Amino acid sequence: MAVLGRAIREQPRIFAVAVAGSVLFGSMVIASAYVVGGVVGEVVVPAVARGSVGVGALALAATALFGISVLRVVGIFGRRLGAGYMQYRLQAAYRRRVTRRYLELPLSWHHRNATGTLLSNANSDVEAAWYPIAPLPFAVGTLVMLVGAVVSLFLTDWALALVGLAVFPALFALNVVYSRRMAPRQARAQRLRAEVSGIAHESFDGALVVKTMGREAQETDRFAARAHELRDALISVGRLRGVFDPMLETLPSLGTLAVLVVGAFRLRAGAITVTELVSVAFLFTVLAFPVRAIGWVLAELPRSVAGWDRVRRVLDATGEMPYGTRRLDPAEPRPATLAFDDVHFGYEPAEAHLPGAQVLGEVGFTVPAGKTVALVGPTGAGKSTVASLAVRLVDPDSGTVTLDGVDLRELTAESLARTVALVAQVPFVFDDTVRANISLDRPGVGDDDVWAALRLAEADGFVAALPDGLDTMVGERGTSLSGGQRQRLTLARALAGRPRLLVLDDATSAVDPRVEAAILAGLRGGTPDGAAASILVVAYRRATIALADEVIYLEQGRVLARGTHTELLATVPGYADLVTAYEQAEQEREQNRTYDEVAPLTSGLEIEVDR
């Protein structure tokens, strides 16, 4: 009931309109019963006895029935419009709240929750939470109608009122039993909906791995197993409804039959009139449908509670990263200075009872204004974590990360976004045009800025060759582009915002080394508007590292050495081994690529010689 109470508190005016329509409808149902009874008792029966029909009485009866019908239509319209409007407004509002909460929560929270589950929270769980809202005003109006009906019954005849008092509590008791048995079934079905959605999303998102590893059958079986569980859960829900629905439909009919039997005896005894008997019998007949509205609300409550619990888990989640109030001057043209001071950081465990993983410890270094600093280290050294801290995707457990001397936690979200740009290790491209992917509808980013950013990212050539240029649709996640093209597109997106600090997390790994060297050389010259930017780059290739003014060597989350590339090669064996090993692997890949390109030509020459 707390869910319904929240809905009423959030939309009181719309709920009041819907309930008013429902009460009007219910009042007209009771009125129609007594008008029908009056027509039968005062018009039809006398007309049969006389053998003629009075035109005036018939016209009056028709007018009364028509007036009641019009008011019933008005009540139905108000009830349905208000209930529907209320339900859809709540669903839309909570979809926005859930999505906003997703964006407020840190990456560590997202790492602990499957994407499919999050999609289910924002969609089917929100829908389920507010599903009972549609019949709720009808049910409230029905309660008012039932009270009015019982009062009318007592005013008509105490014996017939006792029949009503026996039927109505039986209906409520049956609905309560139904709701209690349905609750666990609906909760399980809602959970399985999320799991099915999660498996489907994971399989589709990993389609490349599934197909290349020949796991289509296994993934299909995994999905089918959970889908069958959901099917069985929904069948269990349907089976229970199949048992209770006929009982809920039958009780009012039995009440009508009981009224006719008891009423016949009361009529013979002279305790009631034909008009009163017909009115009460008709009242029981028309009450059967409205009373079902209460059952609809009770039937949907278990599913609603299950959905609300899952939605509330998101809304009540903790760990958001509040922004501060300080701003950096947006008109400041000079590059920014980034500084790490004794930074420690560890990721939260996937499960609360497990220990967390310490990733960084005592990390301290500076990216001076206008300089390029390269982060180098073996896999798992914490390089990507440093990049995330630099743009405040996560906050340090202790220590500070500052930008021009200001702690990142003190900056406003707008100021941080205007000053710093991250180009991630895995490029993400929206299913939109090239122009939209780069500009992101940011104010002041026109086509000239887009082309300037593309030139700096060495991407203007391939974009110009696309069928529609900047208006070319790139497909979901940029499926129409190569990996290197996607990386250059995301780099251009970052540059178009004219950042004062650019963080590259191995952002050119899929780009040809010659193109990468040209990109980095261009970045050292400045952003599209000519202003230089400070650069923090996670790098592996020797050519990339050699362009840096300083190299920070990380190992096991700690800074082991710093200096120029030449200095570290000569003094740090681990650094020299890492860079040399990567360079050898690059050379082997280049040789294999050259062989793959030349082999078909050589094969063709051999064929000509044989001929």
* Predicted local confidence at residue 399, as pLDDT: 92
Residues 141 and 35 in one domain: yes
Q: What is the pLDDT of residues 290-310, one digit of tens each?
A: 666 776 776 677 778 777 888
Contact 91, 131 (CB under 8 A): no
Residues 128 and 233 in one domain: no
* Predicted local confidence at residue 103, as pLDDT: 79
Q: What is the pLDDT of residues 370-403, one digit of tens each?
A: 888 989 988 888 888 898 899 888 888 899 999 9
E strand or H helix at 591: helix 573-610
Residue 24, pLDDT > 70, answer yes
Q: What is the pLDDT of residues 51-74, one digit of tens each?
A: 666 677 678 878 888 888 899 899
- Whole-number Å distance between alpha carbons of 18 and 139: 11
Residues 305 and 394 in one domain: no
- Residue 129's contacts (CB-CB under 8 Å, 6 or more residues apart) are 3, 94, 304, 307, 308, 311
What does DSSP say about strands 420-423 and 501-505: parallel, antiparallel, or unpaired?
A: parallel
Reported confidence tier of residue 531, pLDDT bands at 50, 70, 90: low
* Predicted local confidence at residue 601, as pLDDT: 40
Contact 197, 119 (CB under 8 A): yes
Residue 588, pLDDT > 80, answer no
Instruction: Report the chain's C-alpha Rg in angstroms.
Output: 36
358 found inside a domain: yes
Q: What percent of the chain has pLDDT over 90?
A: 5
Residues 414 and 529 in one domain: yes
Residues 281 and 215 in one domain: no
Cα-flanking dihedrals φ and ψ of residue 334, to 5°? -75, 155
Q: Name the residue range of residue 478's domain.
A: 338-594
- Whole-number Å distance between alpha carbons of 563 and 565: 7
604 found inside a domain: no
* Predicted local confidence at residue 401, as pLDDT: 92
Residues 199 and 301 in one domain: no
E strand or H helix at 38: helix 12-39
Residues 312 and 436 in one domain: no
Residue 133, pLDDT > 80, answer yes
Domain count, the chain: 3
What is the greatest pairwise CA distance in the chain?
Answer: 123
Reported confidence tier of residue 208, pLDDT bands at 50, 70, 90: low
Residues 301 and 383 in one domain: no
Which of 285, 318, 351 corresponds to the end of one domain? 318
220 found inside a domain: yes
259 found inside a domain: yes
Q: What is the pLDDT of residues 548-574, one digit of tens each?
A: 889 999 988 899 999 988 888 888 888
281 found inside a domain: yes
Reported confidence tier of residue 593, pLDDT bands at 50, 70, 90: low
Q: What is the pLDDT of residues 142-189, one digit of tens each?
A: 777 777 777 877 887 888 778 777 777 777 777 778 777 877 787 788
Domain of residue 55, CATH code: 1.20.1560.10
* Predicted local confidence at residue 177, as pLDDT: 80
Residues 465 and 385 in one domain: yes
- Whole-number Å distance between alpha carbons of 148 and 160: 14
**C-alpha distances out from residue 570 to 541, 567, 573, 576, Å:** 17, 5, 8, 7
* Predicted local confidence at residue 63, as pLDDT: 84
Q: What percent of the chain has pLDDT over 70?
A: 82
Cα-flanking dihedrals φ and ψ of residue 132, to 5°? -70, -5
328 found inside a domain: no
Which of 201, 236, 264 corresponds to the end of one domain? 264
Residues 141 and 189 in one domain: no
Residues 290 and 400 in one domain: no
Residues 312 and 360 in one domain: no
301 found inside a domain: yes
28 found inside a domain: yes
* Predicted local confidence at residue 51, as pLDDT: 65
Least confident of 90-99, 322-331, 489-498: 322-331
Reported confidence tier of residue 606, pLDDT bands at 50, 70, 90: very low
